[in-house]
């Protein structure tokens, strides 16, 4: 067979016998998709990877026989994959499949099989595959390009009668536009109106079409109303006018972002709401600066704390004494302006002065800056270096990593 002339077709394998000969990495990649499509999978292999063994043990619809391939193993099979590291065995499998008129993929020499495996992906109910005459790297590259085009909205994947309506609360991630979720980017590409926070990734807004109304939430005229009330009103008004509104926030919409207040406002107005979680800066920013918030044998806990209210303030809900007594990691958000107060209360509560501190300003962006200090000198160092919001402050033993 010439793979250049492969005829693309989708196989409905649910309940049908599929034989995979070989239990190595090729089988390991192919099996999950076969199982997901309901195939009755029979794996025959001299040896199998731990992942293949685990699939055969934990997943229904798959059996594993650790033995050599034998004539007759393909009886009743609808589809066969020859994936051993022995070309003679793969040839024998392909020969029997040919005699039985059963399509067979040869993982080692694609042109000697009767079928080829395209580079595939699933997207929003679509199954998309690419073949390139046996040039696997080329087909994988084109597959990835198509996938990215769909994610960015360059290629529309909606059914003709699909209608996007209501409001989507989308977490934009910590700043880098590539850290928004796939679903968030897809909904953003379909927006009629985008109400964006100051910390929402600005590069994402630059990708929007000229027909999209972009509203800067920081510049909404508040009048006598509270800022959040005015934002809620704009969202509801645009949605009631039949527009699909994306409320784009930095980080995650439910982590110190008042997203749930906006959900309640929409719900009370009878407007459907979709929530798309985002990558929170509390974890992502330290990670990309080389610091995990937890580490085996060092800390089994981390706490994310808002610094918008000072310790001792009547509206503070934080138990600072408990934070000072814990051994884990403290991640402070919105804390630069009051860092002296936070450091003081933690030191007074028992946190050692030499506790490592990591400060990351404009994390995940080209403007990122990092500062390493200790709890004892962090306030002075932050002022000396001119650190300004937005910044993440990590306090704990893990903050000493990567320095």
Q: What is the pLDDT of residues 6-17, one digit of tens each?
A: 788 889 999 999
* Residue with token string 């990708």: 207
- pLDDT number for residue 225: 59
Q: Calculate mean pLDDT across residues 106-127.
A: 86
CB 171 within 8 A of CB 188: no
- pLDDT number for residue 123: 80
Q: Give 91's Cβ-side CA count (13 Å radius).
A: 3
Q: Which of 247, 241, 254 is nearest to 195 (CA)?
A: 247
- Going by pLDDT thresholds of 50, 70 and 90, the confidence category of residue 206 is confident
pTM listed for this prediction: 0.71
- pLDDT number for residue 198: 87
Q: Calculate mean pLDDT across residues 389-403.
A: 92
- pLDDT number for residue 163: 45
Cα gap 399→359, rounded to integer Å: 9
Instruction: Flag whether pLDDT at 229 surpasses 50.
Output: yes
- pLDDT number for residue 38: 95
Tokens standing for residue 84: 């051993």
- Going by pLDDT thresholds of 50, 70 and 90, the confidence category of residue 365 is very high
- CA-only gyration radius of the chain, Å: 28
List the end-to-end C-alpha distance of the chain, in Å, as a whole number: 57
CB 348 within 8 A of CB 357: no
Residues 6+ apart with CB under 8 A from 283: 293, 331
- pLDDT number for residue 122: 82
Instruction: Flag whether pLDDT at 228 surpasses 50.
Output: yes
Count the neighbouring beta carbons within 10 Å of the beta carbon of residue 321: 13
Residue 270 backbone phi and psi in degrees, to 5:
75, 25
Q: Calculate mean pLDDT across residues 160-180.
A: 84
Cα gap 46→59, rounded to integer Å: 20
385 is catalytic: no
CB 238 within 8 A of CB 214: no
197 is catalytic: yes
Q: Which helix (H) or strand (E) holds 193?
A: strand 193-196
- pLDDT number for residue 135: 76
- Going by pLDDT thresholds of 50, 70 and 90, the confidence category of residue 3 is very low
- pLDDT number for residue 73: 97
**Beta-sheet pairing, 193-196 with 213-216:** parallel
- CA atoms 389, 392, 396, 400: torsion sign: negative
Specify the range with the lowest mean pLDDT, choosing from 159-173, 298-312, 332-346.
159-173
Q: What is the pLDDT of residues 74-109, one digit of tens each?
A: 999 999 999 999 999 999 999 999 999 999 999 998
Of these residues, 73, 176, 197, 252, which one is catalytic? Answer: 197
Q: Residue 84 to residues 69, 71, 100, 197: CA-CA distances in angstroms?
A: 10, 16, 20, 54
CA torsion 227-262-176-298 (nearest 10°) is 100
Choose between 46 and 147: higher pLDDT. 46
Q: Residue 37 to residues 61, 92, 329, 341: CA-CA distances in angstroms?
A: 10, 27, 43, 57
Cα gap 57→297, rounded to integer Å: 31
- Going by pLDDT thresholds of 50, 70 and 90, the confidence category of residue 226 is low
Cα gap 34→314, rounded to integer Å: 59
Instruction: Flag whether pLDDT at 172 surpasses 80.
Output: yes
CB 216 within 8 A of CB 193: no
Q: What is the pLDDT of residues 36-63, one digit of tens each?
A: 999 999 999 999 999 999 999 999 999 9
- pLDDT number for residue 1: 46
At 97, is the secondary structure helix, strand, or coil? Answer: helix
Instruction: Flag whether pLDDT at 356 surpasses 80.
Output: yes
- pLDDT number for residue 111: 85
Instruction: Flag whether pLDDT at 28 surpasses 80.
Output: yes
- pLDDT number for residue 131: 84
Choose between 137 and 344: higher pLDDT. 344
Q: Calculate mean pLDDT across residues 256-272.
A: 96
Cα gap 2→7, rounded to integer Å: 11
Instruction: Flag whether pLDDT at 218 surpasses 60.
Output: yes
Choose between 235 and 151: higher pLDDT. 235
Cα gap 207→137, rounded to integer Å: 29
């Amino acid at each position: 067979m010439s793979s250049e002339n492969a005829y693309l077709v989708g196989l409905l394998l649910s309940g049908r016998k599929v034989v995979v000969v070989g239990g190595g990495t090729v089988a390991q990649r192919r099996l999950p998709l076969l199982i997901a499509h309901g195939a009755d999978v029979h794996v025959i292999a001299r040896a199998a990877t731990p992942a293949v063994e685990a699939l055969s043990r934990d997943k229904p619809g798959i059996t594993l026989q650790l033995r050599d391939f034998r004539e007759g193993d393909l009886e009743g099979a609808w589809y066969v994959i020859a994936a051993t590291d022995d070309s003679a065995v793969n040839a024998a499998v392909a020969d029997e499949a040919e005699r039985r008129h059963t399509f067979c993929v040869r993982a080692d020499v694609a042109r000697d099989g009767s079928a080829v495996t395209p580079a595939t992906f699933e997207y929003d109910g679509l199954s998309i595959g690419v073949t390139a005459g046996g040039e696997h790297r080329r087909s994988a590259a084109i597959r990835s390009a198509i996938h990215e085009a769909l994610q960015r909205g360059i290629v529309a994947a909606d059914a003709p009668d699909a209608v996007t309506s209501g409001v989507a609360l989308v977490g934009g991630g910590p700043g880098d536009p590539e850290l928004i979720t796939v679903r968030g980017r897809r909904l953003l590409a379909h927006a009629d109106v985008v109400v964006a926070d100051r910390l929402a990734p600005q590069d994402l807004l630059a990708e929007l079409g000229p027909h999209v109304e972009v509203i800067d939430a920081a510049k909404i005229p508040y009048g006598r109303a509270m800022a959040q009330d005015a934002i809620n009103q704009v969202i509801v008004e645009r949605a009631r006018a039949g527009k699909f509104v994306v409320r784009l926030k930095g980080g995650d919409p439910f982590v110190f972002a008042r997203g749930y207040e906006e959900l309640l406002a929409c719900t009370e107005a009878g407007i459907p709401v979709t929530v798309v979680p985002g990558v929170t800066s509390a974890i992502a920013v330290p990670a990309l600066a080389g610091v995990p918030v937890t580490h085996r044998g060092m800390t089994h806990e981390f706490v994310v704390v808002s610094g918008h209210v000072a310790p001792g303030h009547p509206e503070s809900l934080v138990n600072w004494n408990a934070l000072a007594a814990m051994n884990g990691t403290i991640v402070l958000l919105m804390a630069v302006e009051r860092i002296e107060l936070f450091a003081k209360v933690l030191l007074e509560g028992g946190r050692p002065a030499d506790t490592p501190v990591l400060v990351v300003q404009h994390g995940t962006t080209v403007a990122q800056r990092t500062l390493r200090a200790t709890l004892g000198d962090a306030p002075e160092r932050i002022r000396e270096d001119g650190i300004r919001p937005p910044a993440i402050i990590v306090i704990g033993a893990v903050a000493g990593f990567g320095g």
